[in-house]
C-alpha cells in the first residue's frame, strides 16, 4: 500500500513576527500563530480535532491544556516531533480516518537556547554553589553546545572530502540574499553579505564564524493539515501532501557512529527515500525546497543525503549556486535559520515557506511556476531525527 | 564574582554505570564489550547493539586514541566562558570492531597544534567535593 496521496492538504499556515525578543509567552505566540493559520484557511478553532506540538519536550499534559484552550472538547489525534514528519503523519492519520484537521503549532518567547542565555542566567545569579548535574553522557560536561558540535562535524566533513571552508561559507551568503527579499526576515534589512564577511565575522568555534551560525530568537508558527473534504471549502487552494517519511537514529550530542559520513546515508536518507517513493516523484521534479539549515555543513549534508548530489559533493553544489533563487534547486527562500529566524524549534517554518511558494505568495522571492516542493525537517543533524514531506499543488 | 571550585555541569553517577565511574577513579577508561561478538560500545547500553546480547563486560580500553575531529571553542557556555579558547575533540579508540568515539576537552595542548589523526590519551580529573571523576584528552607523545 502506497502513501495516501491527495487525501490531505495543508490548508493554513502562519508565522508570527520573528524577532530577537518578543513580548508575550510561548503560549501567547503559539495562540497568535494558530489564530493566523485558522484565518488563512478560513476555519474555526472548533474545527481542529488533532494536535501536534513542536515543543521538543511536549508533555501529554501540555497537549491536554491546549485541547482545553482550543475549545474544550475531546480531540482524536496527538503527536509531537519535527514538522516534516508531523505533516506526513497527520496526512496518514487523516487518510486513516483518525482525525480531520490537525494543528501543528509552536511558540517561543524569552527562551533563547544558546550561550547568550546561559551567560545571562549566570550573571543574574553569579554565585554557583554547586556544579549542576546533567545526564551522564551529556556533552555539556565537556563545554560543548550546538555551535561547537556542528564545528566538529564541519571539521570532519572538510577533512574527509577536502572541502574548502570557503565553499561552505557560500551558504550564509545565499541565505542572506534570500532574506533581503523577505521583509519578515530578521537579517534581511542588514543587506547582502560576502564570503569574506563570513570569514571576517568573529570566530565562535573553529572553523565556524558567527555568520555560519543560526539566529537565536523568539517567534511562533502554525500549520493546519486537513482532509480533502475540509480542504475543498477552505479559503485558499490546497497544498497536497504527496508523500513523506521519517527517520530516527543517533547523534543526540552524546553518541555517533564512527562511519559518521558514509555512502549508505543515515536518517535523512531513509526518510527521503520513503518520501520520494511514496510521492511517486523524482528529485528532478522538485521546484523548491525548504531544508533545515542550522549551519552550512547541515545544508551540504542535506542535499547529499536527500539525493540531490553525491556524498562529499554538497559543498560544491552550494558553491555552484544551485540553492539560490534562479538556481536548479531554490532552497530556503525566506532566508532560513541563518537569516530569517531560528525560534527554538523552527522546522515548521520551512513548511510554511514552501507552502507559500506553491501558492505563489512570495512576491520578490517567488520561484516561477513552482508546483512540487520538498521539505526536510531535522533534529540532531542528518543522522538524528528527520522528517521529509513532498508537497504539491493542483 | 565569588570564586567557586567547580561550576560546570557534571555527570550524574548512576548505579548501572558504576563500573565506569569507578574505573575513572582507578585511572581506567572502561566500556561495555560484548562477550558474544566482541564489539566495544560507546555510549553504554545494557545490551549489545549487534544481537541484543546482555553478555557484556566492562572492559578497560587502552586509554589511547586518535583525534577524529576537533574544534577550538572561542565562545564557551556557562562555566566554560572563561576557559576560551579551549579544544573540544572527538577521539576514536583503537579497540574494534565498532571503535568507540568519545567526546572530551583537550588539556595540556597548544590549540594550533591539534589536527585530525593526532595521537591522544585519556587523562583524568577528580572533582573535589563532588564524588566524580571526569575525563579529558591530552597529546600522547
H, E, C per residue of B22-85: HHHHCCCCEEEEECCCCCECCCCCCCCCCCCCCCEEEEECCCEEEEEEEEEECCCCHHHHHHCC
For the residues B42-66, what does the mean pLDDT come to?
A: 95
Q: Cα–Cα distance between A382 and A378 in angstroms, integer?
A: 7
- Strands, E, within chain A: which ranges? 8-15, 50-53, 77-80, 101-108, 133-134, 203-205, 208-209, 219-227, 239-248, 288-291, 372-379, 385-392
CATH number at residue A72: 3.40.47.10
For the residues B77-99, what does the mean pLDDT come to?
A: 93
Q: Are A118 and A386 in contact (CB under 8 A)?
A: no
Dihedral over alpha carbons A357, A360, A362, A365 (to 10 degrees): 80
Q: Cα–Cα distance between A4 and A279 in angstroms, integer?
A: 9
Cell 553546545, residue located: A145
Rounded (10°) angle between helices A296-305 and A267-279: 50
A228 lies in some domain: no
B38 lies in some domain: yes
B56 lies in some domain: yes
Q: What Å distances lie between residue A23 and A17, A20, A118, B122, CA to CA? A: 11, 10, 20, 48
Domain range for B71 is: 15-139
For the residues A57-65, what does the mean pLDDT come to?
A: 87
Whether A157 shows a pLDDT value over 80: the answer reads yes
- Name the residue of chain B whose CA is nearest to A156's CA: B69
Q: Are B30 and B19 in contact (CB under 8 A)?
A: yes
CA of A150 to nearest chain B CA: how many angstroms apart?
A: 9
A64 lies in some domain: yes
Q: Cα–Cα distance between B69 and B61 in angstroms, integer?
A: 20
Pairing of strands B119-127, B64-73: antiparallel
B22 lies in some domain: yes
Does B104 contact chain A (CB < 8 Å)? yes
What values do phi and psi take at B138, rounded to 5?
Answer: -140, 155
Number of domains in chain A: 1
For the residues A6-22, what does the mean pLDDT come to?
A: 96
Q: H helices within A130-204, ranges in order? A: 146-161, 165-168, 170-180, 195-200
Query: Does the beta-carbon distance from A122 to B79 stay under 8 Å?
Result: yes
CB A122: neighbour CB atoms within 10 A? 18
Q: Cα–Cα distance between A147 and A208 in angstroms, integer?
A: 8
CB A365: neighbour CB atoms within 10 A? 22
Cα angle A373-A375-A378, degrees, rounded to a multiple of 5: 170
Mean pLDDT (chain A) is 93
* Chain mean position to CA B56: 19
Whether A314 shows a pLDDT value over 80: the answer reads yes
pLDDT band (50, 70, 90) for residue B1: very low
Q: Cα–Cα distance between B117 and A2 in angstroms, integer?
A: 46
Cell 564557551, residue located: B76
B131 lies in some domain: yes
Cα angle A165-A169-A175, degrees, rounded to a multiple of 5: 160
B66 lies in some domain: yes
> What length is written for chain B?
141
Whether A229 shows a pLDDT value over 70: the answer reads yes
pLDDT score at A125? 57
pLDDT band (50, 70, 90) for residue B103: very high
Strand partners, B136: B123
Q: Are A108 and A344 in contact (CB under 8 A)?
A: yes
A147-179 burial: b if 16+ Cβ within 10 Å, else e: bbbbbbbbbbbbbebebebebbbbbbbbbbbbb
pLDDT digits (tens, 9 = 90+) for A254-292: 887 777 888 888 899 999 999 999 999 999 999 999 999
CA of B124 to nearest chain A CA: how many angstroms apart?
A: 13
B7 lies in some domain: no
For the residues A128-135, what does the mean pLDDT come to?
A: 79
Q: Cα–Cα distance between B126 and B103 in angstroms, integer?
A: 18
Number of domains in chain B: 1
CA of A332 to nearest chain B CA: how many angstroms apart?
A: 28
pLDDT score at A165? 98
Q: Cα–Cα distance between A222 and A83 in angstroms, integer?
A: 10
Cell numbers at residue A243, please? 508523500
A297 lies in some domain: no
- For residue A109, how many C-alpha atoms fall within 13 Å in the half-sphere facing its CB? 17
Whether B45 shows a pLDDT value over 50: the answer reads yes
Which of B43, B75, B127 is closest, CB to CB, to A204?
Answer: B75
Please name the residues in contact with B15: beta carbons below 8 A apart, sequence gap of 6 or more: none
Cell numbers at residue A230, please? 475540509
B76-87 burial: b if 16+ Cβ within 10 Å, else e: bbbbbeeeeebb
Domain range for A96 is: 8-108
Which of A131, A143, A151 is closest, CB to CB, to B7?
Answer: A131
A320 lies in some domain: no
Query: Does the beta-carbon distance from B83 to A258 stay under 8 Å?
Result: no
Cell 531535522, residue located: A378
Query: Does the beta-carbon distance from B42 to A255 stay under 8 Å?
Result: yes
- Write out residues 43-82 of B within 8 Å (CB-CB) of A: 43, 68-81
pLDDT score at B2? 42
pLDDT score at A383? 79
pLDDT score at A124? 60
Query: Does the beta-carbon distance from B92 to A258 stay under 8 Å?
Result: yes
Q: Are A169 and B39 in contact (CB under 8 A)?
A: no
Amino acid at each position: 500500500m502506497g502513501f495516501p496521496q491527495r487525501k490531505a492538504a495543508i490548508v493554513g499556515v502562519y508565522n508570527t513576527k520573528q524577532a530577537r525578543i518578543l513580548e508575550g509567552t510561548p503560549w501567547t505566540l503559539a495562540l497568535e500563530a494558530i489564530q493566523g493559520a485558522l484565518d488563512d484557511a478560513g476555519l474555526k478553532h472548533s474545527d481542529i480535532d488533532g494536535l501536534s506540538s513542536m515543543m521538543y519536550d511536549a508533555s501529554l499534559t501540555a497537549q491536554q491544556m491546549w485541547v482545553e484552550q482550543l475549545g474544550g472538547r475531546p480531540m482524536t489525534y496527538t503527536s509531537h516531533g519535527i514538522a516534516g514528519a508531523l505533516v506526513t503523519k497527520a496526512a496518514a492519520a487523516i487518510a486513516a480516518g483518525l482525525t480531520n484537521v490537525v494543528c501543528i503549532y509552536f511558540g517561543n518567547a524569552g527562551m533563547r537556547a544558546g550561550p547568550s542565555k546561559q551567560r545571562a542566567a549566570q550573571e543574574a545569579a553569579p554565585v554557583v554553589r554547586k556544579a549542576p548535574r546533567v545526564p551522564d553522557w551529556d556533552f555539556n560536561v565537556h563545554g560543548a553546545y550546538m555551535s561547537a558540535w556542528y564545528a566538529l562535524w564541519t571539521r570532519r566533513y572538510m577533512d574527509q572530502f577536502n572541502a574548502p571552508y570557503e565553499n561552505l561559507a557560500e551558504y550564509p551568503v545565499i541565505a542572506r540574499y534570500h532574506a533581503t527579499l523577505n521583509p519578515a526576515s530578521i537579517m534581511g534589512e542588514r543587506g547582502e553579505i560576502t564570503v569574506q564577511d563570513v570569514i571576517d565575522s568573529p570566530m565562535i568555534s573553529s572553523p565556524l564564524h558567527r555568520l555560519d551560525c543560526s539566529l537565536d530568537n523568539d517567534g511562533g508558527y502554525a500549520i493546519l493539515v486537513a482532509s480533502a473534504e475540509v480542504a475543498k471549502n477552505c479559503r485558499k487552494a490546497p497544498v497536497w501532501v504527496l508523500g513523506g517519511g521519517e527517520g530516527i537514529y543517533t547523534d543526540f550530542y552524546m553518541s555517533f557512529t564512527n562511519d559518521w559520513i558514509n555512502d549508505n546515508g543515515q536518517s535523512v536518507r531513509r526518510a527521503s527515500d520513503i518520501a520520494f517513493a511514496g510521492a511517486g516523484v523524482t528529485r528532478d521534479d522538485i521546484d523548491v525546497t525548504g531544508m533545515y539549515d542550522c549551519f552550512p555543513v547541515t545544508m551540504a549534508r542535506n542535499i547529499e543525503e536527500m539525493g540531490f548530489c553525491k556524498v562529499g559533493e554538497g559543498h560544491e553544489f552550494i558553491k555552484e549556486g544551485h540553492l539560490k533563487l534562479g538556481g536548479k534547486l531554490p532552497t530556503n527562500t525566506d532566508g532560513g535559520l541563518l537569516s530569517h529566524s531560528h525560534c527554538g524549534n523552527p522546522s515548521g517554518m520551512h513548511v510554511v515557506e514552501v507552502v507559500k511558494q506553491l501558492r505563489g505568495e512570495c512576491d520578490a522571492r517567488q520561484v516561477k511556476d513552482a508546483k512540487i516542493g520538498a521539505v526536510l525537517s531535522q533534529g540532531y543533524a542528518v543522522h538524528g531525527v528527520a522528517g521529509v514531506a513532498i508537497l504539491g499543488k493542483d | 564574582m565569588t570564586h567557586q571550585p567547580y561550576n560546570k555541569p557534571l555527570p550524574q553517577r548512576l548505579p548501572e554505570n558504576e563500573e565506569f565511574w569507578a574505573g575513572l577513579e582507578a585511572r581506567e577508561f572502561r566500556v561495555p564489550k560484548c562477550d558474544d561478538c566482541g564489539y566495544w560500545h560507546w555510549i553504554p547500553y545494557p545490551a549489545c547493539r549487534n544481537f541484543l546480547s546482555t553478555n557484556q563486560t566492562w572492559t578497560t580500553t587502552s586509554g589511547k586514541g586518535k583525534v577524529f575531529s576537533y574544534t577550538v571553542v572561542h565562545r564557551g557556555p556557562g562555566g566554560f566562558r572563561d576557559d576560551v579558547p579551549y579544544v573540544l575533540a572527538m577521539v576514536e579508540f583503537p579497540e574494534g570492531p565498532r571503535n568507540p568515539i568519545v567526546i572530551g576537552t583537550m588539556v595540556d595542548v597548544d590549540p594550533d597544534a591539534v589536527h585530525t589523526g593526532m595521537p591522544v590519551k585519556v587523562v583524568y580529573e577528580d572533582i573535589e567535593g563532588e564524588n566524580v571523576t571526569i575525563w579529558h584528552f591530552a597529546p600522547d607523545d
